[in-house]
Chains A and B, each alone.
Chain A
Amino acid sequence: MATGKYFGYAGKILIVDLSSSDYHVEDTPFDLIVDFLGGKGFGAKILYENLKAGCDPLSEENILIFATGPLTGTIVPASGRATVCTKSPLTGIWLDTLAGGFFGPELKMAGYDAIIVKGRAKKPVILVISDEKVTIENAKDLWGKDTFEAQEMVRKKYGQTYQISVIGPAGERKARFACIVSGDRSFGRGGSGAVMGSKNLKAVAVKGTKSISISNFDYFMRMVKEAYNELAVNPDTSAGRPKYGTNVIYSFINEAGVHPVRNFQSGIFEALKECNEDVLDKKFYKRHLACFSCPINCSKASRVDEGKYKGKFTEGPEYENMWSLGAQCGNSNIGAIIYGEYLCDKYGMDAISAGNVIGFTMECFEKGVISKKQIGFPANFGNDDAIIRFIEMMAKGEGIGELMSQGVRQMSKELGKGTEKFAMHVKGLELPAYDPRGAFGMGLAYATSDRGACHLRSWTVGAEILSIEERMDPFATEFKAEFVKNQQDLFAVMNSAVVCLFLTFALTPRHITQLLQSLTGIKEWKSTDDILKIGERIYNLTRLFSLREGVSRKDDTLPERLLKEPVKEGPTKGVVVDLDTMLEEYYLVRHWDGEGRPTKEKLAELRLDKYRV
C-alpha cells in the first residue's frame, strides 16, 4: 500500500505529547511541503511557530522533531538520512542535526513525514511505532543502558526489523553535547540527545511496511539512473570515498596546513606518517559499510589488531573524529581514536565536541589554568590514556568531566583566566576539523552557520585549496561570501529533501531539482531557481529563529585565536583570518542589514513577512 496523498511524501505527521502520554496524527499540510520541502525546512517552520522565544531547551516547552524528506527512503542514491530539529541546549539557538543509516526510510515507510515530540514524560518511556500502531511504553529497564545495549534490548523485545534512535547515559544526564544514536550512526552535533533525555524519552523504535508513490515513474527512473551514473564516474564518490571513507581528505588537509593540531596551535600534524588514510586502509579498515540505498559505501568497520587497544572496534573512525581525538589532542595512536570514538557512540556523545573539549582541557592543563589535582591525572597533549578517561568522565559527569560536558564555551566562562581566547567554538558549538587560517572561506562558513561552527552548512576547503574554481584563493576574501551563501542554501535543500550531502560531489542542483520534480509532480517547483529559493527561505527562517533568541552581528565571529594568533609554520604561517571583510559582503549578498537581520524586502521576496523579528 502506498503512503500519503502527495507523491513522494508519507502525507502524515505524528504529534506526540509526552506530558499527557497521548498522540494524534495530522495530514502534512500542502503549503508546508511547497514552501519548506521537508526535513530541516519542516523543522524550521514548526519550531519557529511553536516555540516561545527564550524557552529553556531542556524544559518541557522545547520540541524535538524527527523528520524525513521527499527523497528519503526512495531508490535515489544516499537517501537513507533523517533529520532532528530542536532548540540546542549547547548553543541556545537553532539546531538541525542529521544521521545516516536506516531510521529515516523506516519512519517514512511507517507512514510519517515527521514526528513532533512535545512535553516531558513523568518516567522514562520508549515510543514504539509500527505503521498506524503507536504506543508510549515504560522504558524503566532501558534507562541507564548504553546506546548499543539499549538498541539490542529493544530489538529483542519488539522485533529485529525495528529501526531505533536512542540516547545513552550522556543524554540521560543531559550532557550538553549528548547525541542521539541510530544503529551505528549519530544525530551528532548540538546536544539533541540532552533534549531527548530531558523529555525522559529513551528511544524511538519504528517499523514500516508502506511504499512511496511516484508521480512520473519513467522520468524519475531516468533521473535516478543519471544520478547513479554520475556517482559512478566521479573520482571522489566512485574511488576515493569507497576505499578510504571520509579520511580520503586526511593527508591533503595536512599538506595544506589546515588540519588543526593541539587545539589550533598549529596546522601541520607531525605524526602524519603514522596517522593517515593509507595506514587506516591497510591496518584498521576491515569492511566497507553503507547506509540505506547508497552506492558510495563511505563508512568503514575498523578493528585494532595489536597494541594496547587490541580488539577495540568502531564503525569509523570518520575524518572528523580522526582529528578530534587525534591531532586536536596531539594523539597519533589510532587505536585510542578507534576506542574513543566507540565510547562516544556507546555513551551517546558528539565525538567532535568531545575531542575539541579534551584538546582545550589539555591546553588549559599545559598552561597551568587547571592543575593535575583538579583533573586527577596528568593531561598533556598526546596522552591517550587521558583522552579515554576524559570521555568516560564526561559521559558519567565525574570530576572535571561534568564541567567539560557542558561544552567549551561554558567551560572557558567558568575557568576565566583568558581561556576564552582559545575556546574553539562559534555560538557555543565546538569547531570541527578545518583551520580557517588556511582556508578563509571556512572562517565565514563557521561564523555564519545557522547552528554554530559547522563544516556541513558550507565546505569551502576543496574549492579553495584544490582551486576547482580558479578564483578561490584560500587566503583571499574575494568571492567567499557568494560561495558560502549559495552552498548554505543548497545544503538547506539537501537537508530538507533529506539526502546525503555527499551527493553534491557528483550531482548538480539541476539533478536534485529534476529528482524532486519527477518524484512529486509538484507544479509550483518549476525550476532549479525555485528549489534553491526554498533553501534560501529555510536559511533565512533559521536565522530569524536565532535572532529571536538574541543572536546578533557580534556572534557572527570566530575564536580570537583565529583572528589574532598566526601559526608559526607551514603554508599558513603568519596568517590570520580577515573575517570582517567577508562578513560585510556576506550580509550584502544575503540582503541582510548591518546587524545581520534579513531586510523587509528579502523577507517579502521569500514569503517570510509574517515572521519578521
Chain B
Amino acid sequence: MKVKIKAKFFAMPKDYQGERELEMEVSDDFLQALEEIDSRTRIGIREKLDKRFVILINGRNYRRLLEEKGKLKEGDNLAFVPFLGGG
C-alpha cells in the first residue's frame, strides 16, 4: 500500500538534500520506503543513516517503529536529523 508522507531535512541533512521539506508517496513498508526515498533524493540513506544522521518518525527515533509494526501511516513526518552533541 502507498502512503503520503512528509520528509523533512534539518541542518546538515538539509545541506545534503538542498531543500527542507518534500512530500512523497511511498510504500507503507518502512524499509521499502527508505529504498524509495534514497532513490528519489540526494540524502544518501545507505551511506549516512546512523553515521551522519538518524530519522525521527513523528518526533520519535525510527528504531521504535521498526521494533513495533514497521509500517508507515498516511501523513507521517519523517525528519532527517544530524547526530549532534548539544546546544
Q: A residues bordering B, Cβ < 8 Å?
A: 235-237, 239-240, 243-244, 246, 248-249, 251-253, 255-257, 276-278, 319-320, 433-434, 438, 455, 459, 461-462, 465-468, 470, 473-474, 501-502, 504-506, 570-572
Dominant SS among interface residues on chain B: mixed
Q: Within the complex, what minimum Cβ distance (angstroms) separates B10 from chain A?
A: 4
Enumerate B1-57 residues with CB–CB distance to A below 8 Å: 8, 10-12, 14-15, 20, 52-54, 56
Q: Of all chain B residues, which has the CB nearest A473?
A: B64
B79 interface residue (CB < 8 Å to A): yes
* Contact among B14, B15, B20, B84 for A466, CB-based, below 8 A: B84
Residues in A with CB closer than 8 Å to B60 are 256, 474, 571
Known: A278-B20, A433-B87, A470-B63. A235 touches B82 (CB 8 A): yes
Interface centre among B56, B63, B64, by most chain A C-beta atoms within 10 angstroms, is: B56
Known: A319-B87, A462-B85. A240 touches B11 (CB 8 A): yes
Q: Of all chain A residues, which has the CB nearest B77?
A: A255
Q: Within the complex, what minimum Cβ distance (angstroms) separates A599 from chain B?
A: 31
Pair A468/B11 contact, Cβ less than 8 Å = no
Pair B81/A255 contact, Cβ less than 8 Å = yes
Q: Identify 11 new A-B residue pairs, CB closer than 8 A, beyond the known A252-B79, A255-B59.
A: A235-B52, A235-B53, A236-B85, A248-B11, A248-B84, A249-B86, A251-B79, A253-B87, A466-B61, A467-B54, A571-B58
Pair A257/B59 contact, Cβ less than 8 Å = yes
Known: A255-B77, A277-B11, A278-B14. A236 touches B82 (CB 8 A): yes
Known: A240-B12, A467-B54. A571 touches B87 (CB 8 A): no
Pair A502/B12 contact, Cβ less than 8 Å = no
Residues in B with CB closer than 8 Å to A501 are 86
Q: Of all chain A residues, which has the CB nearest B59?
A: A571
Cα(A504)–Cα(B54), bound, Å = 20
Q: Within the complex, what minimum Cβ distance (angstroms) separates A582 from chain B?
A: 20
* Contact among B11, B81, B86 for A505, CB-based, below 8 A: B86
Q: Within the complex, what minimum Cβ distance (angstroms) separates A120 from chain B?
A: 37
Number of interface residues of B (CB under 8 A): 26
Cα(A572)–Cα(B59), bound, Å = 9
Pair B63/A252 contact, Cβ less than 8 Å = no
Cα(A278)–Cα(B20), bound, Å = 9
Cα(A467)–Cα(B52), bound, Å = 13
Q: Of all chain B residues, which has the CB nearest A253?
A: B87
Pair A251/B11 contact, Cβ less than 8 Å = yes
Shortest beta-carbon contacts, A-B, top 7: A571-B59, A505-B85, A252-B81, A251-B10, A319-B87, A467-B61, A459-B86
Cα(A501)–Cα(B87), bound, Å = 10
Q: Within the complex, what minimum Cβ distance (angstroms) separates B2 from chain A?
A: 24
Pair A255/B10 contact, Cβ less than 8 Å = yes
Q: Within the complex, what minimum Cβ distance (angstroms) separates B7 from chain A?
A: 12
Q: Within the complex, what minimum Cβ distance (angstroms) separates B69 from chain A?
A: 17
Pair B87/A252 contact, Cβ less than 8 Å = no
Pair A320/B56 contact, Cβ less than 8 Å = no
Pair A466/B10 contact, Cβ less than 8 Å = no
Pair B54/A466 contact, Cβ less than 8 Å = yes
Q: Within the complex, what minimum Cβ distance (angstroms) separates B41 from chain A?
A: 17
Residues in A with CB closer than 8 Å to B58 are 571
Residues in A with CB closer than 8 Å to B54 are 466-467
Cα(A249)–Cα(B79), bound, Å = 13
Cα(A264)–Cα(B23), bound, Å = 30
Residues in B with CB closer than 8 Å to A571 are 58-60
Pair B52/A462 contact, Cβ less than 8 Å = no
Pair B56/A255 contact, Cβ less than 8 Å = yes
Pair B56/A256 contact, Cβ less than 8 Å = yes
